[in-house]
Structure formats: C-alpha cells, structure tokens
Structure 1
Amino acid sequence: MTNNNDLLNIIKNFQQQHILVVGDMVADIYLQGIIERISREAPVLVLQQSGEKTVAGGAANVVNNVATIGGKVTAVGLLGNDNAANGLKNILSKNKVDINGLITSNDRTTITKTRIIAGGRATVSQQVVRIDHDNRTPVNSSDEKKLLTSLEILLPQCSAVVLSDYGSGTITPAIRSLIIDYSRQTGIPCIVDSRYSIHDFKGVTYVKQNDAELAAAVGMTIKNDTDLHQAGKLLLNQMSAKGILVTCGEKGMVLFENDGSINTIPVSDKSEVYDVSGAGDTCVAAFITAIAAGAESTAAARLSNYAAGIAVRKMGTATVSKQELISILEK
C-alpha cells in the first residue's frame, strides 16, 4: 500500500507534468455589500457595495488548482470580449497558466456566476442571491474550428487531459472525439467531469462523478454502500473506462477500477468543513496530475482526497497549494 512518503515523492514530479484542461471556463464574481436598510420599493435589503472579487470557476478552477499544486497547465476554452474574461485571464496568468488556448468569441459572453453577499459589522455575511449568465446557444463553426486547431497543436505537448463539462457546450462532439481518440491512440490519460452528459464521453480513461451525479447517470437511487457499488460498477462498464472516482461528501471517495477492485477512501478530516464549492475541481486536478506523474490510481485518489479535504476548509471556490499538500502529508 502506498504510504505518505510515496505520495510526497509523487508531488515532487508534479512540476514535470503538462496538463491540458478543456471545458467551460467560468468567472465566479462575489459582490459584497453592507446592509443599510429595507428598501421602500420592495421588501428587500438595500446594500452599500463594499467589495468585488472575481475567482476562477468551472474548468478555470481545475486549471488554477493544477497550477497551484505545482503542475504546468494550459487552459482551452471560450471567453467573451468582456470584463469577466479580462479578470479570468489575469487570475490565471498570475499563477503562470498558459492561456493561449483561451479563444475570444464574438458570438458568446464569458460564463459568469455572480453571488451577492450581504453582511454588516454585527451580522454574519451570507449569500442572498446568485445570478448566472450562461451561454445557451451552440458553439459556432468558426469558434469550434479555432478550438480544434489549438488542440491539434497542444495535445502532443501534454501529459494528461481534463475534460471539464459544466453543461455550457464548449466541449462539442468534434472536440470530444478528437481528445478521446487521441488519448486512446497515444495512451495519454484523460479524465472527464461532466455534470449532465457523462455518457457522451464513453472511452475516456477516468471518470469523476459525485454520488448524486452517479445516481442520475445510471437511473438509480443510492441509499447505501451496496447501491453505490452496484451503480459504480454499472457506470464503469457503460463508460469502458479504466476507473471511476466517485466523491461522496463527508463519506469520502470510492474508486472503481476495471480489474474489479473497489477502494473506499475516507475523508482526511471531518472537523472543519466550511464550503464544498469547487472541491470536485480540486479533486480532479490533483488526481490527474498524480496519474500523469506516474502514480497508481489508488495513490492518485488518496492524494486527491487530501487536496479536496484542504479545499473544503476554505470559503468559496478555492485552490490548494503544493506546500499545503506537502504539509498535511508530513503530519
């Protein structure tokens, strides 16, 4: 069994890995306001804006996490010609992310999720509403061609690929086929995290789902471990994958492998769970970077479990640093 010293040695190899992250890049915007009064126009709070922060979300959060844990990473996706895109590029560039694969579309806007946070000197700040600005129209042929051209150049340079599908349509059928076919032909590992359309990605090396997504994917109600194991094995067979990593909240993770083995990995620390936002992205980033660095899938899952455990102890969509991972393993 892999021990923590083995995991530390795997982390040392992260800097040599080039991970390609393809998918729906999201700008998470947090608008903070101090509660002043109740509006005369309607029974709603009136806030005096006190701050604004943009962080990387969706596929961009996977990108950011690969960068902060020490890997080399290139982001591939579509952005609009807008302030949200500029903010996202600045965030990623600060972490030395290669953003040359981010295409500016004249037909789409940057995907944003804007959270309004209300608070005051004597009150706890809370999210009161979230406003999503998504793209519902299919990717046009010109933008798709630019993405395909970029991928044909970038794929031979990478150690592994992440397909991060949040349902906004960036990963078109042609893009999906190109990446999965390349992965199978070359042996380069590829992992998919898809919220709504996991079966479209049949043939990938690894699949990441949470337990609710798994239940929906196989049309089952998961009430216990027996149900979970049945569902995991069923999806593994349907996807023709090497492994499926299922996150189960406070119960940890379960890794299903095509040799029939099932490995349950309990959470590393239940004492301080503040926010699960983006923890799945952290999990994917750590898992695939470890696989690229030569880790066995069980060791990669353990490492991703530690990384996710750090992420949930932070507020909002958060990243995990290489040093944080090293510190928790050394303990």
Structure 2
Amino acid sequence: MKSIEEVFEGFKDKTVLVVGDVVIDYYMRGKASKISKEAPVPVLALEKKESRLGGAANVAMNLRALGATPILCSVVGDDPDGEAFEQLLEYENMPNKGIIRSQNRITTTKLRITSGLQHLIRVDNEDVHPLIDLDQKSLLHHIKNLLDECDLVIFEDYDKGTINPEVIEETIKLAKSKNIPIAVDPKRRNFTKYQGVSLFKVNVADLQDGLDIEFDALDEKQLANAAGQLKENVAADNYFITLSKNGIFYDSGKESGKLNSHPRQIVEVLGAGDTVISIAGLCLTLGLPLEFIAEMANIGGGMVCELPGVVPIDKEKLFQEAKENPILKKYL
C-alpha cells in the first residue's frame, strides 16, 4: 500500500463473514416535559420511532459503509421481529443467505426510549440460551458453505447464545485451513475459547470480566500486566485493548504500544467497538502494520461516538481524518 487512497480502495475488494449475535435496535425519541399523574415517571411526547440493525449486524453495517461486502451468519427467531430483521437487511441491500430463522428462539431486540440525548429507559427482549443442536448444525453448514466467498471472518459475540465453543472451534479450523484471517470481539461466556485467531480485540470492561481481574487501565504497568494475562489465556497473533476515551493498546508479541484518543465531542459510546473491529479486520486483510491498524481503528471508534445511537462509520470523514494523521503517514 502506497497511500491512504489505496487502503480505502482495497476495502472494496473484501468480503467478510460476520458470525455472531444480531439485534434490532428500536428507538422511541421525543420530549419529556412533565411527570405522570399515575406514577412518578416522565411522560414522553413521542416524536420519532426508528429501527436499526444492531449487534453483529452493526458490524456488517460498518463493513458495508467502508466499501466491503458483509455476509451475516446468525440465528434469529421465526417471529415478527425476525421478519422485521430480514426486511431491514433488504432495505440496507445486504444478503440474508447466512440468516437462519428458528422456531426455538426469539429475535433479540433492544428498545431505547430517549428525551433529547437523555436515556429514559431501555427494554431488552432476548433469549440467551445456547443454540439447540439442529440450529447449531444449520449455522455451521452456512458458515462452511459461505467461507469460500470470504477474505475475513469476524466473530461478534454478545453472549446471546449464537456463538458457542463448538461453533468457534469448527469455524476457526475451517478458516485457518483456507488461510482466512479471523478477528474476534468477545464476551465473558466464550472469552478463552478463541484460540489461534489473528486479532483478539477487547475493551477494558470485557477483559476484566472475561479473566476475572481488576486493573487500572490508566496505569501503564497494570495495563501491561493485564495484557500479559490475556496472552497467557488466549493465543492470538495480535491483541487490541480499547481504552474508551483513553485510546487503544496494541500488542503482537513483537511490538506493542498505546495510542491516545483524539479530541471528540462525545455523545454516546454505543457501537464504537463494532466500528473498531470492522476497520481493524479490513486493515488486517491488507497486511498493514499493527500500529497503523490500531490508529485507523482508534480514529474510527472515536468518530462514531460523536453521534447518538448505534451508527456505522462515515467513510468519507474517516478518510479525510486518516489522510492528515501523522501516525498513518509514517507508513505510507
């Protein structure tokens, strides 16, 4: 790669299999200007209702926004929300060939009710038990059939039951046999099951939860010790620890470092991790240096926090900021 332009052009040639828990994010927005007479709660004057693809589907949205072709592989319910999910995919011009409709699950939804930028309540409707054998076999069948089309696998794990140790082990085995890189965004239940992946990306809270440890991420020694414990428990080629407003830590065993975040007007941090794993995964397929990958993901993760709700990255804004970034300029 000789330029940022070539990097972004390279994204267009990539097809990515996204395996994980998908969600519909429902929003009800309005203004709360009085308290109910029925109970001491605010009354929302509803102004807008909205539905968005969330969870692993937001990773797919980020990938598509960057120019790549995402293929979601997941299980949703054979219910009205499952139908709504497939309609959202169709509206976004994304394929549904990796989506399984199951009578044994419900479709995960999250309803956020907000007044301006203030969250009033979130209502979750979900089924987090592991897949039954029939659904697991169907999921692995889809993964096996779709892998030949793909340049990258991303596991986006939200602990909702779609991903389990058998799905992880078999998918990693298949991907590695085809020399397809694998990037992971884990949660507690399967945290140490992702052995031998190309990139293991985790935030501080999930790292503490996944390994049952406590550390101060602002203390460089404690952060390095936590990274060491991560490497002892999960074998990977590369590791990212995202530090929210404090940037990102990267480590490959051969090189490591911490990159500071960039000044932002933070509105919400929802979906930042989805953006980070999407950018990092695509950069990984292009064989870019680890510090470059970390900084590009660092820029994008902060950028989506400037907008309300779960939103994908704005490719043009990312491109413009990347062109002027001194760390990225070192490599191109």
Name 2:285's counterpart in structure 1: 292
The RMSD of aligned alpha carbons is 1.9
**Do the aligned partners of 2:267 and 2:307 also contact (CA within 8 Å) in 1?**
yes
Residue type of the partner of 1:127?
H
Q: SS at 1:143's partner residue?
A: helix
Name 1:88's counterpart in structure 2: 85
Give, in whole Å, the separation in 1 of the partners of 2:143 and 2:111.
Answer: 30
Q: CA deviation at 1:52?
A: 1.0
Give, in whole Å, the separation in 2 of the partners of 1:250 and 1:33.
Answer: 28
**Do the aligned partners of 1:236 and 1:256 also contact (CA within 8 Å) in 2?**
no
Give, in whole Å, the separation in 2 of the partners of 1:181 and 1:273.
Answer: 40
Give, in whole Å, the separation in 2 of the partners of 1:35 and 1:92.
Answer: 32
Name 2:63's counterpart in structure 1: 66
Q: What's the TM-score, normalizing by structure 2? A: 0.90
Q: SS at 1:242's partner residue?
A: strand
Q: State how 1:1-331 maps to structure 2 within 5 Å.
A: 6-35=3-32, 37-118=34-115, 124-196=116-188, 197-223=190-216, 224-259=219-254, 261-267=255-261, 269-331=262-324
**Do the aligned partners of 1:21 and 1:75 also contact (CA within 8 Å) in 2?**
yes
**Do the aligned partners of 2:144 and 2:174 also contact (CA within 8 Å) in 1?**
no
Name 1:121's counterpart in structure 2: none
**Do the aligned partners of 1:64 and 1:92 also contact (CA within 8 Å) in 2?**
no
**Do the aligned partners of 1:253 and 1:305 also contact (CA within 8 Å) in 2?**
yes
Cα separation, partners in 2 of 1:125 and 1:205, compared to 1, 3 Å: closer
Cα separation, partners in 2 of 1:204 and 1:237, compared to 1, 3 Å: same
Give, in whole Å, the separation in 2 of the partners of 1:29 and 1:291.
Answer: 32
Q: CA deviation at 1:173?
A: 2.4
The answer for unaligned runs of 5 or more in structure 2 is 325-332
Give a deviation string over 1:181-230, Cα, whole Å, max 9, x none: 12333321101111213112222221111112223333332221111111
Q: What's the TM-score, normalizing by structure 1? A: 0.91
Aligned length: 321
Q: CA deviation at 1:304?
A: 1.1
Q: CA deviation at 1:156?
A: 1.7
Give, in whole Å, the separation in 2 of the partners of 1:79 and 1:65.
Answer: 20
Identity of aligned residues (%): 27
The range that moved more, 57-66 or 234-243, is 234-243
Q: CA deviation at 1:42?
A: 1.6
Q: CA deviation at 1:125?
A: 4.4
Q: SS at 2:236's partner residue?
A: coil
**Do the aligned partners of 2:264 and 2:302 also contact (CA within 8 Å) in 1?**
no
Q: CA deviation at 1:46?
A: 2.6
Q: CA deviation at 1:72?
A: 0.9
Name 2:329's counterpart in structure 1: none
**Do the aligned partners of 1:183 and 1:204 also contact (CA within 8 Å) in 2?**
no
**Do the aligned partners of 2:100 and 2:138 also contact (CA within 8 Å) in 1?**
yes
Give a deviation string over 1:49-97, Cα, whole Å, max 9, x none: 3221111211111111001111111000011233433443333334432
**Do the aligned partners of 2:296 and 2:322 also contact (CA within 8 Å) in 1?**
no
